[in-house]
């Protein structure tokens, strides 16, 4: 990411990000920390190709995002990026398994047997394998967030972007969800970018990027790299 700026608004322009230069390597486990309104979520959206930079260039997996049309961008997003949000944003009208399969059903003609097997394995891995035929609305908040992580991991996506993944959970569930992400990171070498304002979570990541007023003010290896 080279010299990225993001400006919102028309009459009164608001600069959400200014002059961001950032490189994240494959397999890193990064925390993005900052107050609300600091621009950390905007950064995550640009990284996740949900949003485009106003100026500057962003290269994801060898593709310059500015060069891609919307349809191509949608395709790249589907192949490369998995999202985990503060609220799980699972689809309430579907079962746990159907939700995890959603990225596959949504982009292919229909999910294959391999997709199904992968989804079941992932659900087992995140510890909700026994809940897979229940409707999303019938499982607990912690379980929902696990399902969301399983969904983000589908199709072996190399990059997981998590926006306050534990923000809505109690401390026990927060701990478990975070541990799960670390475990998956060490197993699959998936790149994780986690937006959080929880310093305790941030301290347990490998790298901490601190943002204030749309600028990176600190980029350092964590004090205590692993738990």
Find the binder of other proteins among 14, 23, 106, 171 (CB under 8 A): 106
Residue 138 engages other proteins in binding (rule: CB under 8 A): no
Residue 83 engages other proteins in binding (rule: CB under 8 A): yes
Residue 45 engages other proteins in binding (rule: CB under 8 A): yes
Cα 123–Cα 108–Cα 186 angle in degrees, nearest 5: 35
Find the binder of other proteins among 37, 89, 117, 226 (CB under 8 A): 89
Residue 103 engages other proteins in binding (rule: CB under 8 A): yes
Stretch touching other proteins by CB under 8 A, among 23-31, 88-96, 174-182, 187-195: 88-96
Stretch 181-210: interaction string toward other proteins, x if CB under 8 A: ------------------------------
Q: Which is nearer to other proteins, 154 or 209 (CB)?
A: 154
Is the distance from CB of 172 to CB of 204 less than 8 angstroms?
no
How far apart CA 141 and CA 88 sit, in angstroms, is 8
* CB burial of residue 196 (10 Å; 0-12, 13-18, 19+): buried
C-alpha closest to that of 194 among 52, 41, 60? 41
* Bridge partner residues of 95 (DSSP): 135
């Amino acid at each position: 990411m080279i010299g990225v700026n993001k400006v919102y608004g028309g009459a009164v322009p608001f600069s959400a990000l200014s002059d961001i230069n950032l490189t994240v390597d494959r397999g890193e486990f990064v925390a993005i920390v900052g107050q609300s309104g600091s621009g950390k979520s905007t950064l995550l959206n640009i990284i996740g190709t949900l949003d485009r930079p106003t100026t500057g260039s962003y290269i994801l997996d060898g593709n310059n995002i500015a060069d891609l049309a919307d349809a191509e961008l949608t395709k790249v997003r589907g192949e490369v990026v998995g999202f985990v949000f503060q609220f799980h944003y699972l689809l309430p009208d579907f079962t746990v398994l159907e939700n995890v399969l959603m990225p596959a059903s949504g982009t292919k003609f229909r999910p294959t047997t391999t997709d199904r097997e992968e989804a079941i394995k992932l659900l087992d891995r995140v510890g909700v394998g026994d809940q897979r035929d229940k409707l999303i609305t019938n499982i607990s908040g912690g379980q929902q967030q696990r399902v969301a992580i399983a969904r983000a991991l589908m199709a072996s996506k190399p990059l997981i972007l998590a926006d306050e993944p534990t923000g809505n959970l109690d401390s026990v569930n927060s701990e478990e969800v975070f541990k799960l992400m670390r475990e998956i990171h060490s197993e699959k070498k998936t790149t994780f970018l986690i937006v959080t304002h929880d310093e305790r979570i941030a301290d347990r990541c490998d790298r901490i990027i601190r943002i204030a007023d749309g600028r990176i003010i600190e980029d350092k290896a964590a004090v205590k790299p692993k738990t």
